[in-house]
Amino acid sequence: MDGVTPIDSQVPSRSFGDELRALLRLGLPIALVQIGMAGLNFVDVAMLGHHDPASLPAMALGNNLAWGASMFCLGTITGMDPLLSQAVGAKDAAAVPRLLGRGLLLVLLLAVPASLLLLPAATWLELTGQEPELIPAAARFARWQSLALLPLLLYGLLRVVLSAHARLWPQVITIVVGNLANAFLDWVLIYGKLGFPAMGVDGAALATVTCRWLMLFGLLAFGWRDLGPHLRTLCQPAVARAAFALGPLWRVLRLGTPSGLQFVLEMGVFAAVALFIGNFDASTDSDGAGLAGHQVAMQLATLSFMLPLGLGIATSVRVGWAVGAGDQAAVHRAVRAGLVASATVMAGFMLLFLLMPTALAGLLTSQPEHVAMAAILIPIAGVFQIGDGLQVAAIGSLRGLGDLRSPVVANLVGFWLLGLPLGLWLARSCELGAAGLWWGLVGGLFVVAGGLLCVLRLRLRLDHRRLRLD
Tens of pLDDT, residue by residue over 320-359, are 888 888 888 888 999 999 999 999 999 999 999 999 999 9
Chain segment 220-246, per-residue pLDDT in tens: 999 999 899 999 999 999 988 988 888
* Nearest of 226, 259, 260, 11 to residue 100 by alpha carbon: 226
417-427 average pLDDT score: 94
Mean pLDDT for all residues in the chain: 87
User: Could you tell me if 306 and 35 are in contact, meaning their C-beta atoms sit under 8 angstroms apart?
Assistant: yes
Q: Check pLDDT > 60 for residue 429.
A: yes
| Percent of the chain at pLDDT exceeding 90 | 44
Q: Check pLDDT > 60 for residue 5.
A: no
Amino acid 458: pLDDT: 92
Q: At 468, is the pLDDT very low, low, confident or very high (cuts 50, 70, 90)?
A: low
- Kindly report the backbone phi and psi dihedral angles of residue 256, in degrees, each rounded to the nearest multiple of 5, phi listed first: -80, -20
Q: At 3, is the pLDDT very low, low, confident or very high (cuts 50, 70, 90)?
A: very low
Q: Check pLDDT > 50 for residue 71.
A: yes
Q: Check pLDDT > 90 for residue 211.
A: yes
User: Could you tell me if 279 and 344 are in contact, meaning their C-beta atoms sit under 8 angstroms apart?
Assistant: no
Q: Check pLDDT > 60 for residue 10.
A: no
422-433 average pLDDT score: 90
Three-state secondary structure call for residue 410: helix
Which string of b and e fits 410-441 if b means at least 16 CB within 10 Å? bbbbbbbebbbebbbebbeeeebbbbbbbbbb
User: Could you tell me if 98 and 242 are in contact, meaning their C-beta atoms sit under 8 angstroms apart?
Assistant: yes
Q: Check pLDDT > 80 for residue 284.
A: no
Q: Where do the H-state alpha helices sit in 192-223? A: 201-222
CA distances from 217 to 107, 172, 203, 210, 224 (A): 16, 14, 22, 11, 10
User: Could you tell me if 304 and 378 are in contact, meaning their C-beta atoms sit under 8 angstroms apart?
Assistant: no
Report CA torsion sign: 51, 53, 54, 56: positive
Lowest mean pLDDT among 75-89, 102-116, 144-158, 295-309: 75-89
Three-state secondary structure call for residue 84: helix
Amino acid 327: pLDDT: 83
Please tell me the distance from the alpha carbon of residue 302 to that of residue 40, in angstroms, as a whole number: 12
Question: What is the per-residue DSSP string for 370-388?
Answer: HHHHHHHHHHHHHHTHHHH
Lowest mean pLDDT among 38-52, 273-287, 392-406, 413-427: 273-287
Amino acid 295: pLDDT: 83
Amino acid 341: pLDDT: 94
137-142 average pLDDT score: 91
Give the residue with greater pLDDT, 183 vs 470.
183
Q: Check pLDDT > 70 for residue 149.
A: yes
* Nearest of 122, 53, 66, 65 to residue 290 by alpha carbon: 53
384-401 average pLDDT score: 92
| Distant-in-sequence, close-in-space partners of 218: CB < 8 Å, separation ≥ 6 | 173, 174, 177, 178
- Distance from CA of residue 17 to its chain's centroid? 28
Please tell me the distance from the alpha carbon of residue 250 to that of residue 213, in angstroms, as a whole number: 28
Q: Check pLDDT > 90 for residue 31.
A: no
| Percent of the chain at pLDDT exceeding 70 | 95
Q: Full-prediction pTM beyond 0.95? A: no
Q: Where are the beta strands (DSSP E) in 195-308?
A: none
209-217 average pLDDT score: 95
Task: Give the CA dihedral 328, 330, 336, 341, nearest 10 degrees.
Answer: -150
One-letter amino acid at 46 equals A
Q: Check pLDDT > 90 for residue 403.
A: no
Amino acid 6: pLDDT: 44
24-28 average pLDDT score: 88
Amino acid 151: pLDDT: 95
Amino acid 39: pLDDT: 81
